[in-house]
Structure formats: C-alpha cells, structure tokens
C-alpha cells in the first residue's frame, strides 16, 4: 500500500528541498498513485471523486478520466487543467515501480497550452498555482535539478497564445530526465508575422556536456514579439536572427554562455532613417556573471542614411554590470560611402552630398546610471577622413570640386550622446579639421573662391527637446589664419577668421580678413563682414578699412540672394587730402595722371539699391574745400554735395550744383556756380553758368563734356571786366588802367593742357591806360629813344577805343595784342595817337590767390552740413 501521509500540496508551510520541478512532478506522481490505489477498488470511483480532489489541490477546475490502471501503469486519456482548459494533456501514461514507490517515467502524447499574452503570460485561473510554482522554483534554482527525476517525454507540444494584436501558435517536443533535457519549440505568429524555432540540449549530469542550442527567429513588422528582441517594431521589413548558443562546462557556477549570432535585415524601415536597411550584422558574444562581451562584431548594411548608402563596420565591445548599471567600452571601425546623400531628411538643412565617403575608427565609452539615464562618447583612435566629390546646398554656395576633410583626434570626444530617463537626447559632434583647402562656389555668382584653412573646427549639437526658443540643431564652423583667393577677379584675402553657424534654417556668418588685395585698383583694405542668412534672405554688415590708408567704408543692407535684389546703405567716412600728405592716387592709383596736388575733404553716404545688375542709388557725395589740379584745370576751393542716382556707370540727378571759388583755364574764373548732370559714366552736361572774371561777369554757354573725346571747346562771353584786374591777372607788371572790356573768350580744353585760340575783348567806353615804365622789363627800358617815347605816351593814355586780342598756347606762351587809339595830354599836347602793343612770351602763371571775401553759396553749405552731422 502507498504510504498515505498527507499530500505534500496540502502542507502549505512545508518547504521540500529538491526544487520546484521536483515538487511539481512529485505532486503529480503522488496524485496518480493515490488515484491508482483508489482504482484498485473502483475505476469509476476514482473518475468521480478524482477530479474534485485534484481541483482542491490545484485550486482550479480539473477534469480527467482514467482509462487504464494497474500496478505498473496508469493511463489517462485526457487531463484538462483550468476552467477554460488552459492546459490540456492528452494520452498521459505513468509508469511506476510499485515496489520502490518510484515513478519511473511520464509519457505525454500531447500537451496543449492556451494562454493569453498581455502584460503577463496568463493561463487564466491556473495563474495562482503557476505563480506559487514559479515563486518556489525561483528560490530553489541554485541547487540544480533533482537527481532522481523520472523520465518525462512530451511527444508533442502545442501552444496557442492570444496577444492583443494576433495569435501565436507553437509546436514542439521535449524529453526530460535526470540525464538531460532536450527540447525543441517552434512558434508561429498569426498572419505569418513571426516564427521562432529553438532547440535546447541540456545535460543534468555533473560531467554531462554543457547545455547548447540553436535559436532561429524571423520577425516581420506586424509581429508582437519585438519586445523579445528589445526593439520597437519597424514600419516595414523583416529581421531574421540565427544564433548558436552553448554554455561553459560550469555554467551554473559563474561559467559563461557563448552565442554566435547573425542578424539579417531585409528592407528594414524605421522612422529615423530615410531609407530602409538591408544587410547583416554578426558577432560572437559571451555572457558571464554580469558582463557581456561582443567580439568579432562585423556588419555590412545597405541603405539607412540614403538608398544607395552602404556602411561596413567591425569592432569589439564589452558590456559590464549588465543587470545593474551597464557600462560599455570597445572599439569600432566604420567605413561608409554612398552615391547621393541628401542631408535634409536627417534634419541637417537642405544640403546634398555627392559620392560621400567616411572612414573612422573610434573608441566607445558608454554608461547608464539609474538617475541620469545613458551617456555614450566616441573618441577617434586615429584621424578620420570624410571625402566627397561635390556638395550642393539649395541654390546657395556649393563645394563644386572633390574635397577631403581630415578629422583629427582630440581630447574632446568626436561624438557625445546623453539621454536622460525621459528620453531627452542631446548629441554633440566636435570635429577639429586638419589643413584643408576647399573650392567654394557662392550661389549668388559663378565666381569660385578657393579657401585654404590651416585648421578649423566643426561642431554640431542636436537636442531632441530644445528649451523654449533654443535651436534643435546647431552647426558651428570656425577657422583662423585662413587664406582665400577669387581667381576670376584676382582678389586675395589674407589672415581670415570665419565663424559661421546654422541653427534651424538660420545661418549667421562673420568673416574678418587682415588684408584684402586686388579690389579693382584699390589699395589693400582690412575687411570685416557679418551676415545673417535665412533661406535666400541675407542681411549683411560690411566694413572696409585701409590697411595703411585712411579709408573707412561701411556697407549695411539686405538682399534676396535668389533674385539678387536688395538695398545697401553706404557710408564713406570723411577723407582729408593734403598736398604733401594723402593724395587720391594713394587710394586709387589710376588717378595719378588726372588728380595732382589735391587738398580738401570728400565723404559719401546714402542708399544703393540693386536688382540683378541694375543699380539705382540716392547717394550723397560731399566735396568740401577741395583744391588742386583736375586734368589741365587748376581749381581752388570747390564745394558741392552731388546726388548720385546710379553709382556705376556713374549718373547724377539733374541740375547738380558745384561752387568753385576759382578755376584757372588760362584765365582765372572766380565765384563760379556750375550746374551739371553726369550720365552713363562718361558724359557731363554743363548748363549755362554765371561766374566772374577780373571783376566782370562771365557767361559760359552750355557744353557737353564727353570723357573720351580728346578736346572740349568752351565759349565764354565776358561783360564789363575791369581792365586793371585783367592786366593784373595776366601778370603784365606795370600795366594798369580804368575802364571795362567785353567780348568772347573761346577756350579749348585738352586732357594735356588748355589753349585760348583767339579771344577778343573791346572797351565798353573810353578809359585810361598807364604803363609804369619803372616796372617794364629791363630790356625794354634800355631799348633806345623810340621805345622811350612809346613808354612816355603810355604813361597816362586816355583811350577812346581799345581792342585786345589774346591767345594762349598749350605751351603756356601768351600773345597779347593791344590796339588803342586816343591821346596822352602830356604827350605832344594830347595829339591823337594810335598804339599797337604786342606782348609775347610766358606771362606769369595765373596767380593762385583766391577771390577776396568769397562765400560758399548757402544752399551748398547747408547740404554739406547735413551730410555728415
């Protein structure tokens, strides 16, 4: 008779040694023994009371029917556990040795488990029993399997798992005894969403072979089993995993488990990557107590960053304290190349790289801490190279030529990622670039700029949840001591410092250069430029200052780069020229042959608008106390504020006014107010102008001066100029008189000099002429009797008629012809005399002193004052 002590299940407090499986099997075996004994009396008795008894034991409905019972064997055709038959066992055959009261073997034809997979693996009303079983199993796991385990064979296993998004069916078989456990299981998710096949061979003998097995898995996007692999389900694609697993001999006592696996992705699309991934990753991993080593990691993936991007990587990684605070360390070397890589999908602005390639070798250090989340740094183990054949950015500047950048290892990590518990990810890339030279083609013009930089720094920070107003993505670029050349224009920039940044579609640029040379014929200047670009809308602030000349030109404005339209406010700080000091040709060498001995101040300010190449402006050019030789004409104290309505080719508004204290064109014109307009950069229309000469009034006919034509003829009409002042101006020492002359003075202006072909002036009325013999040229004074008589006649000559003919040659020689008729009271008692006097030779250079009491006209003085407040 079997000992009839209380069934172990009813002794809640009793804790049997020998592990949970042993207790389960033991309970099951005892249950059948009890039933077998009962059967000895009545098979139907057992069938009627058995189930109820068992239900009490399990705490959940049990239904079974015994079909055969004898001393050696019991056969239960079908055993249902759980209200909704969560677990059904078909064809259960128990073989036991009645004498040793030992259960030798349990053979089950088929086990069917129907469970629900939700937040937990639930078998309906069997859960409490299962939980209790697991709890007790958990605590005894250390001691391994019970030595005297009966042999259990599950010929076939059927699983029916219902999950919120589909059902999973599974099949398999297992044999279990105190020698070994061999089991194989394959799971099939509904709609063919996933398959998992696993085979496990586990020896229970101390000297048995270490457990080993294989795991093959195929998950499609629709599967619910992604959490098993620790990944979020992709939008599409298939992930296949193939792993060989084996454990060390002493795997139960801190030995390791090794797994060689290969994961293959096909058309694997996840939101973060613009293109689906295909390819495989393989590695040999080893799990020890609390560390995981991933050796010989190798991956070859196509797609991801772009459809035609390919990444190949190898490396070795080490994870420590896996269960508590995983720490990562390792080395990874990676090569990537592609055909066309648009960066916009990666959130880095509208930039596309052609044939990009990257090669780098990094040391990884990662750490996760309970409080602060995870942190990963990548440091370059050796210089990395990034090369591309071309970079184009939406219509703006591009790198048209093949470029290779070398990123240098530095103490600051290349990549630093920090992810806190809330998932807030901040990633920073810091890439110090070695000596680089780039060819840049700014979008707005086809000229190419060649930029050579000894060293530069590129940093990129991306914040997944930027603070209010802060930028999500920020790219910064800095360099110093760079050189740049604009070959097509012959412009060179030295000592360049650049700081450019891009954040959320807005670009800012600041550039300074110590020496900009080749700006047309201008002297070298120091340049400072600041610009803000958003799309093609640019705001800029430029400043050019002479390196050793006092130029200070500021340009501030806005432009639509796409349509090359915009407005600039120009401010040229006042420039003071001085004879012996700064001269115009110091600033603009070609002026050397046009402007000599210049003094006075110029300045300019005002808006310039550009639309394509069409320029319009409202520029004010101030000219103050300006004197010197302009071409052949000697000017004294010129003042004007000229309104320029197009800077190039130069054009002024009509009716501009310039006041000239004195202009020497062979004859001294003074107190002039010219009205003019410049057009097409080469035509100056001078309106009729009024000025004074030798005390009389001069009217100059309107004239068009064409800067290319070799000569210009001016026609002066002179009225009532003073005889006395004229002779003074002509510098004929000793000759003076009273009376006025009028007439015409034609002037020929040559670039190389001035000629007065034949001026003729007549006396308006009778007057007086005196020639002080003492001041006559020496030769004249001693020229004998007749000359003495002539001089006597001229000492106080009252003329009725006076005609003066004047001609001045380009050489400066002046021929003066004077025909006067009248008489000298003290010469032959005033007998009528006709006098023809010709004077030849170089007359005194027109005297340079100004017009006494000259006042700059109010209108122009006011304009000058409010030009530079």
Partner 1 sequence: AVPAAFADALDDARAAGQIGERPDGYVAVVDASAPASVKSLVDSINRQRREAYQKIATEKGVPIEQIGALTAEKIINEKLRPGMYYMDASGAWKQK
Partner 2 sequence: CNPTVKVEAPDKPIVINLNVKIEQEVRVKVDKDVENLVQSNPALF
Nearer to partner 2, 560 or 813 (CB): 813
Residue from 372, 775, 840, 855 binding partner 2 (CB under 8 A): 840
Pick one of partner 2, partner 1, none as the site partner of residue 780 (Cβ within 5 to 8 A by kind).
partner 2
750 binds, among partner 1, partner 2, none (CB under 5 to 8 A by kind): partner 1
Q: Does 746 interact with partner 1 (rule: CB under 8 A)?
A: yes
What phi and psi, each to the nearest 5 degrees, are found at residue 492?
-125, 140
Which long-range contacts does 277-282 make (Cβ < 8 Å, 24+ apart)? 277/237, 277/301, 277/302, 277/303, 277/304, 278/302, 278/303, 279/303, 279/311
3-state secondary structure of 679: strand
CB-wise, 224 or 833, nearer to partner 2?
Answer: 833
Would you say 74 or 583 has its CB closer to partner 1?
583
Tokens (6 digits) for 453: 């930089």
CA distance linking residue 377 with residue 387, whole number of Å: 23
Q: What DSSP state is assigned to residue 398?
A: B
Binds 755: which of partner 2, partner 1, none (CB < 5-8 Å by kind): partner 1
Tell me the backbone φ, ψ of residue 230, rounded to 5 degrees. Answer: 75, 20
Helix, strand or coil for residue 141?
helix
Count interface residues toward partner 2 (CB under 8 A).
Answer: 29
**Min CB(834)–partner 2 separation in Å:** 4
At its nearest, how many Å lie between partner 1 and the CB of residue 633?
11
Distance CA 611, CA 559 (A): 9
Closest CB 747 distance from partner 1, rounded Å: 10
Three-state SS at 707: coil
Residue among 719, 692, 690 at smallest CA distance from 850:
692
Task: CB nearer to partner 1: give 772 or 845.
Answer: 845
Residue closer to partner 2, measured from CB, 762 or 800: 800
Residue 713 binds which of partner 1, partner 2, none (CB < 5-8 A, kind-dependent): partner 1
User: For residue 647, is it left (φ>0), alpha (ψ between -120 and 50) or beta?
Assistant: alpha
Q: Per CB under 8 A, does 814 bind partner 1?
A: no
CB of residue 712 to partner 1, shortest distance in Å: 8
State the helix-helix crossing angle for 20-41 and 43-58, rounded to 10 degrees.
Answer: 150
Q: Which one of the spans 88-96, 342-350, 432-440, 804-812 is the region binding partner 1 (CB under 8 A)?
A: 804-812
- Stretch touching partner 2 by CB under 8 A, among 3-11, 298-306, 460-468, 832-840: 832-840
Q: Is 757 in the site for partner 1 (CB under 8 A)?
A: yes
For the bound state, the minimum distance from the C-beta of residue 695 to partner 2, rounded and expressed in Å, comes to 24
Does position 748 interact with partner 1 (CB under 8 A)? The reply is: yes
Nearer to partner 1, 382 or 845 (CB): 845
CB of 761 to partner 1, least distance (A): 18
Nearer to partner 1, 277 or 665 (CB): 665
Residue 833's binding partner out of partner 1, partner 2, none, with CB under 5 to 8 Å set by partner kind: partner 2
> Which residues, other chains included, contact 771 with Cβ-Cβ below 8 Å and sequence gap of 6+?
734, 735, 791, 794, 795, 797
Name the binder of 469 from partner 1, partner 2, none, CB < 5-8 A by kind: none
Query: 486: Cβ–Cβ under 8 A, 6 or more apart, which residues?
Result: 447, 448, 449, 492, 518
CB 591 → partner 1: shortest distance, Å?
13
Q: Which of 137, 189, 120 is nearest to 24 (CA)?
A: 137
Neighbours of 810 (CB within 10 A): 13
Which of 103-111, 488-496, 690-698, 802-810 is the region at the interface with partner 1 (rule: CB under 8 A)?
802-810
Residue 307: partners with Cβ closer than 8 Å, 6 or more residues away = 275
Under the binding rule (CB under 8 A), the answer on residue 755 touching partner 1 is yes
Q: Is 630 in the site for partner 2 (CB under 8 A)?
A: no
CA–CA separation, 378 vs 357, rounded Å? 19
Does residue 372 contact residue 353 with C-beta atoms inside 8 Å? Answer: no
Q: At CA 748, angle to CA 744 and CA 749, rounded to 5?
A: 130
The smaller minimum CB distance to partner 2, of residues 217 and 820, is found at 820
Q: Does residue 531 contact residue 542 with C-beta atoms inside 8 Å?
A: no
649 counts as binding partner 1 under rule CB under 8 A: no
Q: How far apart are CA 836 and CA 608, in angstroms?
A: 61
Residue 751 in contact with partner 1, rule: CB under 8 A: yes
Say how far apart CA 748 and CA 810 lie, in whole Å: 9
Instruction: List the structure tokens of 267.
Output: 């058309």
Which CB, 7 or 748, lies closer to partner 1?
Answer: 748
Please provide the DSSP assignment of 763-827 as one string. Answer: ESS-EEEEE-GGGS-HHHHTS-HHHHHHHHHHTTEEEEEEEEEEEE-TTSEEEEEEEEEEE-TTS
Q: Which stretch binds partner 1 (CB under 8 A): 389-397, 517-525, 742-750, 793-801?
A: 742-750
Choose the one of partner 2, partner 1, none that binds residue 118, judging by a C-beta under 5 to 8 angstroms depending on kind: none
Nearer to partner 1, 487 or 702 (CB): 702
Q: How far out from the chain centre does Cα 34 lie?
A: 83
Instruction: Name 98's bridge partners.
Output: none
Q: Taking each helix axis from N to C terminus, what angle separates 20-41 and 127-140, rounded to the nearest 10 degrees?
A: 130
As a whole number of angstroms, the distance between CA 640 and CA 302 comes to 72
Q: Which of 253, 435, 563, 842 binds partner 2 (CB under 8 A)?
A: 842
Under the binding rule (CB under 8 A), the answer on residue 547 touching partner 1 is: no
DSSP annotation string for 327-390:
EEEEEEEEEEE-SEEESGGGTS-SEEEES-EEEEEEEEEEEEETTTEEEEEEEESS-EEEEESE
Q: Which of 381, 500, 562, 839 binds partner 2 (CB under 8 A)?
A: 839
CB of 848 to partner 1, least distance (A): 13
Minimum distance of partner 2 from residue 758's CB (angstroms): 18
Pick out residues in 606-635 that bind partner 1 (CB under 8 A). Answer: 632
Q: Which is nearer to partner 2, 358 or 776 (CB)?
A: 776
CB of 787 to partner 2, least distance (A): 5
Distance CA 383, CA 484 (A): 25
Listed in sequence order, the residues at least 6 apart from 223 whose beta carbon sits closer than 8 Å to its beta carbon are 189, 193, 194, 233
- Contact region for partner 1 (CB under 8 A) — 116-124, 165-173, 679-687, 810-818? 810-818
DSSP string, 551-613: -EEEEEEEEETTTTEEEEEEEEEEEEE-TTS--HHHHSGGGGGTEEEEEEEEEEEEEEEEETT
Measured from the CB of residue 669, what is the shortest distance to partner 1 in angstroms?
A: 18
Q: How far are the Cα atoms of 368, 383, 405, 819 from residue 379, in angstroms, in the given order?
A: 18, 10, 17, 103
Task: Report if residue 752 touches partner 1, rule: CB under 8 A.
Answer: yes
Q: List the interface residues with partner 2, window 772-831 (CB under 8 A).
A: 776-777, 779-780, 783-784, 786-787, 789-790, 793-794, 811, 813, 821, 828, 831
Element (H, E) at 46: helix 43-58
Closest separation between CB of residue 759 and partner 1, Å?
12
Residue 5's binding partner among partner 1, partner 2, none (Cβ under 5 to 8 angstroms by kind) is none
836 interacts with, out of partner 1, partner 2, none, CB within 5 to 8 A per kind: partner 2
> Of 750, 766, 830, 848, which one interacts with partner 1 (CB under 8 A)?
750
Residue 207's binding partner out of partner 2, partner 1, none, with CB under 5 to 8 Å set by partner kind? none
- 730 near partner 2 (CB under 8 A): no
| Nearest to partner 2 of 654, 734 (CB atom) | 734
**Which positions touch partner 2 (CB under 8 A)?**
776-777, 779-780, 783-784, 786-787, 789-790, 793-794, 811, 813, 821, 828, 831-843
**Which positions touch partner 1 (CB under 8 A)?**
593, 632, 710-713, 746, 748, 750-755, 757, 807, 809-812, 845
């Amino acid at each position: 008779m079997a000992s009839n002590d209380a069934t172990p299940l009813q002794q809640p407090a009793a804790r049997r040694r020998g592990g949970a499986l042993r207790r389960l099997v033991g309970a099951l075996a005892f249950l059948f023994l009890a039933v077998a004994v009962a059967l000895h009396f009545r098979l139907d008795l057992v069938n009627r009371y058995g189930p109820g008894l068992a239900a009490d034991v399990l705490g959940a409905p049990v239904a079974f029917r015994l079909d055969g019972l004898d001393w050696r064997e019991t056969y239960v055709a079908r055993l249902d556990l759980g209200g909704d038959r969560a677990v059904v066992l078909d064809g259960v055959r128990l073989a036991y040795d009645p004498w040793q009261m030992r259960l030798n073997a349990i053979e089950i034809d088929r086990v069917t488990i129907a469970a629900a997979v939700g937040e937990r693996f639930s078998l309906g009303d069997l859960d409490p029993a299962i939980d209790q079983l697991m709890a007790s199993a958990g605590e005894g796991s250390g001691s391994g399997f019970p030595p005297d385990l009966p042999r259990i064979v599950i010929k076939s296993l059927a699983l029916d798992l219902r999950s919120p998004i589909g059902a999973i069916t599974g099949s398999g078989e297992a044999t279990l005894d105190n020698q070994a456990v061999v089991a194989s299981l394959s799971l099939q998710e509904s709609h063919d969403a996933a398959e998992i096949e696993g085979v496990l061979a586990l020896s229970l003998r101390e000297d048995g072979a270490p457990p080993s097995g294989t795991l093959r898995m195929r998950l499609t996007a629709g599967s619910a089993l992604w959490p098993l692999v620790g990944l979020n389900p992709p939008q599409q694609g298939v992930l296949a995993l193939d792993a060989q697993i084996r454990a060390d001999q002493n795997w139960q006592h801190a030995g390791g488990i090794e797994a060689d696996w290969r994961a293959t992705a096909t058309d694997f699309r996840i939101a973060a990557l613009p293109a689906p991934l295909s390819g495989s990753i393989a590695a040999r991993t080893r799990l020890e107590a609390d560390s995981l080593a991933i050796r010989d990691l190798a991956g070859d993936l196509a797609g991801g960053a772009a459809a035609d991007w390919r990444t190949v990587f190898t490396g070795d990684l080490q994870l420590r304290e896996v269960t508590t605070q995983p720490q990562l360390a390792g080395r990874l070397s990676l090569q990537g190349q592609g055909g066309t890589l648009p960066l916009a999908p990666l959130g880095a602005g509208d930039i596309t790289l052609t044939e990009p390639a990257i090669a780098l070798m990094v040391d990884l250090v990662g750490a996760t801490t309970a409080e602060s989340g995870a942190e990963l740094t990548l440091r370059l183990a050796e210089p990395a190279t990034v090369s591309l054949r071309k970079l184009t950015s939406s219509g703006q500047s591009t790198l048209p030529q093949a470029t290779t950048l070398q990123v240098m290892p530095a103490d600051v990590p290349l990549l630093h990622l920090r992810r806190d518990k809330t998932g807030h990810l901040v990633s920073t890339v810091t890439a110090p670039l070695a000596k680089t030279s780039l060819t840049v083609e700014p979008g707005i013009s086809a000229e190419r700029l060649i930029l050579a930089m000894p060293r530069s720094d590129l940093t990129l920070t991306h914040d997944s949840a930027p603070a209010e107003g802060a930028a999500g993505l920020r790219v910064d670029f800095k360099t110093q001591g760079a050189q740049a050349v604009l070959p097509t224009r012959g412009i060179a920039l030295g000592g360049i410092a650049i700081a450019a940044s891009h954040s959320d579609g807005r670009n800012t640029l600041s550039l300074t250069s110590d020496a900009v040379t080749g700006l047309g014929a201008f002297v070298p200047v120091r340049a400072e430029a600041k610009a803000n670009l958003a799309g093609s809308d640019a705001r800029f602030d430029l400043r050019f200052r002479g390196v050793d000349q006092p130029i200070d030109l500021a340009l501030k404005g806005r432009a639509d780069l796409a349509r090359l339209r915009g407005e600039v406010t120009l401010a040229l700080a006042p420039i003071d020229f001085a004879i012996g000091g700064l001269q115009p040709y110091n600033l603009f060498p070609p002026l050397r042959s046009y402007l000599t001995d210049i003094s006075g101040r110029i300045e300019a300010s005002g808006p310039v608008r550009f639309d394509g190449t069409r320029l319009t402006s409202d520029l004010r050019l101030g000219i103050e106390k300006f004197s010197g030789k302009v071409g052949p004409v000697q000017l004294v104290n010129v003042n004007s504020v000229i309104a320029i309505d197009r800077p190039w080719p130069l054009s002024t508004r009509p009716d501009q006014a310039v006041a000239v204290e004195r202009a020497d064109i062979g004859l001294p014109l003074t107190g002039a107010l010219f009205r003019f307009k410049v057009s097409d950069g080469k035509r100056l229309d001078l309106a009729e102008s009024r000025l004074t000469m030798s005390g009389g009034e001069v009217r100059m006919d309107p004239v068009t001066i064409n800067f290319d034509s070799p000569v210009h003829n001016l026609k002066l009409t002179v009225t009532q100029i003073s005889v006395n002042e004229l002779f003074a101006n002509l510098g004929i020492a000793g000759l003076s008189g009273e009376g006025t002359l009028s007439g015409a003075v034609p002037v020929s202006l040559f670039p190389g000099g001035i000629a007065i072909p034949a001026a003729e002036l007549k006396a308006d009325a009778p007057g007086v002429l005196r020639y002080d013999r003492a001041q006559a040229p020496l030769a004249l004074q001693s020229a004998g009797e007749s000359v003495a008589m002539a001089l006597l006649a001229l000492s106080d000559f009252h003329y009725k008629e006076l005609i003066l003919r004047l001609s001045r040659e380009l050489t400066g020689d002046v021929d003066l012809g004077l025909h006067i008729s009248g008489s000298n009271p003290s010469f032959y008692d005033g007998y009528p005399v006709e006098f023809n006097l010709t004077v030849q030779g170089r007359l005194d250079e027109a005297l340079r002193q100004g017009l006494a009491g000259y006042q700059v006209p109010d209108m122009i003085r006011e304009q000058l004052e409010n030009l530079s407040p």
